[in-house]
Each structure stands twice: as structure tokens, then as C-alpha cells.
Structure 1
Amino acid sequence: MSILSVPMDNTPPPSFTCPPPQRSALREAALAHLARFGTTRQGLEQVLLRRVARWAQKAQRAGDCTELVAEHAAKLHPVVAAVVDDMVRLGAVDDAVFARSRVRRLVRSGRSTRAVQAHLAAKGVAPEVRDEALEEAVSTLSAGEQELCAALVLARKRRLGPFALAPATPDEGEASGMARWNKALGVLARAGFARDVAQRALEMQPEEAEDWMDRLRAES
């Protein structure tokens, strides 16, 4: 059975008790997913492959031959790829558009550049597309300023540095103050912020921090 013999209409092959998904059904599933969620080429492909996998599990539970089910599921993989290619050609899937939108959202939620890069990589976005999206995320801010703003967003969420009721400083002269300072640095470090960025954010005065927040909000 060649790839071309995989049925493209809605007539299920008679050899299966549980009808496998046809190209038309996979296309409908792709459009339904894209109507609700933004995604990448890899993301949409994974959604459709999971649909194929669910059919294979259901068919096996229904008593269909495991080997035949696995063979047919494998032959549906290029059909899935073709459906995804259709969505890309239609402009419904665009990794660059997805990356720019997701970067803006993540920066405004307090994610570091390192965390953003990891997130986009997991979504299948190519390195050059990730870099370009990060450069364009906040057009009025440099990469360093964008990173500082993201650190301040996280500091505000966690009530650290200029947003703390009792800001910790490394020169308080008390063990408890140093402990709180190191704890605050640790929060930002675990989020992927470099020490110099974290230290600058934590040492910033509240008025200056709010000015940076206003600059970031102006880009929304």
C-alpha cells in the first residue's frame, strides 16, 4: 500500500473496524485548532499526529490488527505534513508571526531572554526566527533594556527590590538582610536573568522602576 493509496476522501478503508482520520478530517481539525490557538508549524503537526495516535489506540482496542494499524498510522504522517503545508501556504501558520506575538507576551510577563529562547525552541521555532522576534519585541527598547524591564516585571510579581514593602540590600549589616538579598537574587537567577541585570533591578528606586514599567506598557 503506497502513500498515494491512503484514502483522501471520507470513505473509510474496509479493513478497519474503527475508521481512520482522512485528509479532509485532518484539515478540518487543523482549521478548528487554528481558530482557537496560535501555533507553529511543529505545534500544528503535533496536534494532528496526536489525533492519528488516538485513532490508532482506539482501533487497537476495537480489535483491529496492531501491525496494520501501525502501518496505516505511519502512512498518515505525510498526509499530516501535507495538511500543515497547506496551512502554511494559506498564511494560517507563520512561525515568525507566532514568535513575535509570543515574545511580547512573555517579556511582559517577566520572562528572561533565556527563558523566552527556551520556550520558542520547544515550540519548534528556528534560532534565526527566535533572534529576530526578540529584537523586534519591544521596538523602543534595546535588548538590554528589554531584559531589565522583564526582570522588573518579575520583581513586581514577587514583591522584590523596588516593589518590596521592606527592600533588602546587601549592606544592611544584618544577616537577615543579606539572606533576603540573596534570596531575591536567587529568584531572578532561577528565572534566567544574569546577575548584573538582577542586581540592577533589585537596587533600583521605586520611582525609576515605575518609569521603566511605563515604557514597557507604552508598547502594549
Structure 2
Amino acid sequence: MMDDAIKPTRKPPRKVTPAYLQRAAMAYLERYASSAENLRRVLKRKVDKRCRLRGEEPAEFYEAIDEVVEKSLRSGLVDDTRYAEARVATLRRRGGSARAIRAKLSLKGIDRATIATALEGEEGDEEQAARALARRRKLGPYRPGERAPYRDKDLAALARAGFSFDIARRIVDGEREDNAG
């Protein structure tokens, strides 16, 4: 029987180095598309955790994080404009409103001008996005059975998703479009 007082102690993680930060950034970017600010946050969390386990002060490594992010930007691995355009296209297909997309991209650290530029080409797609959401969530004309008793709930669901009342009303009161995609 093993005594509780004799527990093997874990070795502290290795010291944070610029090479470690570069490897961590590359590993993250291999798996996920990212904005510069989001990559900065990811690396900061890694540094904070590692420094907490080592009993070190993380602030001294923040400059190295900035250097890794700048290097990623210069090499083209991170491009906020390209990231924003790709996210807008994906979120539109899934039924995202312009308002919801702005909020999500802002959370990822994309500036307002870049978001506006990415949404610019997509403005005419607000109604298509609302229809995609209605189809996915079975709202309005996509609701099986009688839809009249659920009209207000369906309008509210589209409004919470960030669509204007006019667009929500057109979708909920409109006819089903099965060929739209």
C-alpha cells in the first residue's frame, strides 16, 4: 500500500523561449485559422499557464509573443482580412446575420474596418442567411405541420439571431424555397 505522503512530484515544464512560442504558434495555425489578436491571446494563455507552473512572471515574455505574431503576419500565415472574409462566408452559409457576424469577428480581435470590408460584398445575402437559418432551425415555412401558432416564436428566434423585423417577417410569412442553397 502506497503512503499518501509519498507522491511523485511533477517536473515543472520547460522555460518559455522564443523557439517554444514559434512552435506553439505553428501548431495552433496548422489546426485553426486565426486572426493576429486571437493568436496573441492563445500564446499569452500558454505563457501564463507555463509561467504559473514554473513560478515565473509571464510579463517578461509578452514582447516575444508580439514578435512571433508579427513574424506570422509578415510571412502570411496570419491575415486578418483573409480570415474575416472566410469567417463571413462560413457564418453566412450557416445563417448568420451581419450583426451576429460583426460581434463574433470583434471577439476574435478583428478591427471594425476589416469587418465592414468583409461584410461589404455580403450585404445582399442577409435575406439568404435568414432563410438558411430558418431552414436549419425549421422555422416559418420550414416548420413541419401547422406554422401559424408558432409565428411569433419564429419571428423572435430570427430577431435574436440579429435579423431585422422586416427580413424575419418576409421569411416567416413567405413560402418555402427548397432549391435555395
* TM-score between the two structures when normalised by the length of structure 1: 0.73
Comparing both chains, which one has the higher relative contact order based on Cα–Cα distances under 8 Å and sequence gaps of 6 or more? 2
Structure 1 residue 51: Cα displacement: 1.2
What residue in structure 1 maps to residue 49 of structure 2?
Answer: 54
Structure 1 residue 152: Cα displacement: 0.7
What residue in structure 2 maps to residue 193 of structure 1?
Answer: 163
**1:1-220 to 2 correspondence within 5 Å?**
19-60=14-55, 69-70=56-57, 73-137=58-122, 143=123, 145-169=124-148, 177=149, 180-206=150-176, 209-211=177-179, 213-214=180-181
- Cα distance in 2 for partners of 1:34, 1:52 equals 17
Offset from partner CA, 1:171-194 (integer Å, 9 cap, x none)? xxxxxx3xx111111111111111
2:141–2:147 contact (8 Å) kept in structure 1 = no
Give the aligned residue type for 1:200.
R
Relative to structure 1, the CA distance from residue 51 to residue 185 in structure 2 (aligned partners, 3 Å threshold; closer, same or farther) is: same
SS of equivalent residue, structure 1 residue 110: coil
- Cα distance in 1 for partners of 2:137, 2:24 equals 40
Offset from partner CA, 1:135-173 (integer Å, 9 cap, x none)? 234xxxxx1x3111111111111211121223534xxxx
Relative to structure 1, the CA distance from residue 18 to residue 152 in structure 2 (aligned partners, 3 Å threshold; closer, same or farther) is: closer
SS of equivalent residue, structure 2 residue 144: coil
Larger radius of gyration: 1
- Cα distance in 1 for partners of 2:34, 2:151 equals 39
Give the aligned residue type for 2:24.
A
Offset from partner CA, 1:187-219 (integer Å, 9 cap, x none)? 11111111001000111112xx335x24xxxxx
1:26–1:80 contact (8 Å) kept in structure 2 = yes
- Cα distance in 2 for partners of 1:131, 1:210 equals 30
1:103–1:133 contact (8 Å) kept in structure 2 = yes
1:112–1:151 contact (8 Å) kept in structure 2 = yes
Alignment length, in residue pairs? 170
Structure 1 residue 36: Cα displacement: 1.0
Structure 1 residue 100: Cα displacement: 0.3
Q: Which runs of 4+ in 1 moved over 4 A?
A: none
Extract unaligned runs of 5+ from structure 2: 1-11
